[in-house]
Amino acid sequence: MIGSHSRKEGFTLIELLVVIAILGILGALGVTMLRSSQADAEELQCKATIQTLTTALEQYKSDRRHGAYPLTSLEGVPGAGKLTNRINLGAESMFVALASKDFRGDRPSESLGDDSFENTDGDVSAKPLTIYGSKDLFEFLDPWGNPFAYFNAADYGNPAVRRYMAASTVGGEYEIVTVKPWENAKTKSPFRPSSYQIFSAGPDMTFNTEDDIGNW
């Protein structure tokens, strides 16, 4: 009887260990799948935001009062004043164009909401340039919190418009980085050579790496 009781206890302990091991494996798989699902959702959100901005930029260009895509800088724009730090120039110019009072298209700043933009470099214009009362020069943000880079085709070769703020981790400190327009490896020419590029640093939060997400 004593021997039988010991064997029963031993068998139950083994079963318990097996169950714990299985639960551990399932838990690890669940976490991996959750992270993968979240990453996929963020990339889809990024692409959807780019599509929203692209649609608005096309509406801007089709308006006869503009007839062209926004420039890569607010240099010379009435009310902009002196550009103090020359960072995020393209991103700020795009935001002002698509949030200006005379823009008759669908404003992304309204459809995407207040969380979709921020003033990551803290600069301001001399006067408010948008439908908002603030003088802040905002930039549209990707799902990881970095500004979308924007380049008008006329400035693809202009190094003066390549300084951007970017954080290397979600919620981390912003630092000044150099961002270059993307080049097509096959043609050796920039993507979208006659219009513009808009792109995100992607989930690795580093510009000009393979996971960048853009309008090409």
Count the neighbouring beta carbons within 10 Å of the beta carbon of residue 106: 12
Per-block mean pLDDT, blocks of 10 residues, the chain (216 long): 51 77 80 75 97 98 95 95 92 98 94 96 96 98 98 98 96 96 96 98 97 97
Which value, in Å, is the radius of gyration of the alpha carbons in the chain? 25
Helix (H) or strand (E) holding 166: strand 163-167
- The CATH number of residue 118's host domain is 3.30.700.10
Residue 29 confidence (pLDDT): 76
Counting the structural domains of the chain, the total is 1
Q: What is the C-alpha separation between 216 and 202, in angstroms, rounded?
A: 14
Pairing of strands 139-140, 189-190: unpaired
Q: What is the C-alpha separation between 11 and 100, in angstroms, rounded?
A: 74
Residue 212 confidence (pLDDT): 98
Helix (H) or strand (E) holding 57: helix 2-62
Residue 23 confidence (pLDDT): 81
Q: What is the C-alpha separation between 204 and 189, in angstroms, rounded?
A: 25
Residue 26 confidence (pLDDT): 81
Measure CA 83 to chain center.
Answer: 23
Residue 11 confidence (pLDDT): 60
Residue 15 confidence (pLDDT): 78
Q: What is the pTM of this model?
A: 0.82
List the domain range (segments joined by +) for residue 47: 2-214
Say which residue the tokens 């003066």 belong to: 160
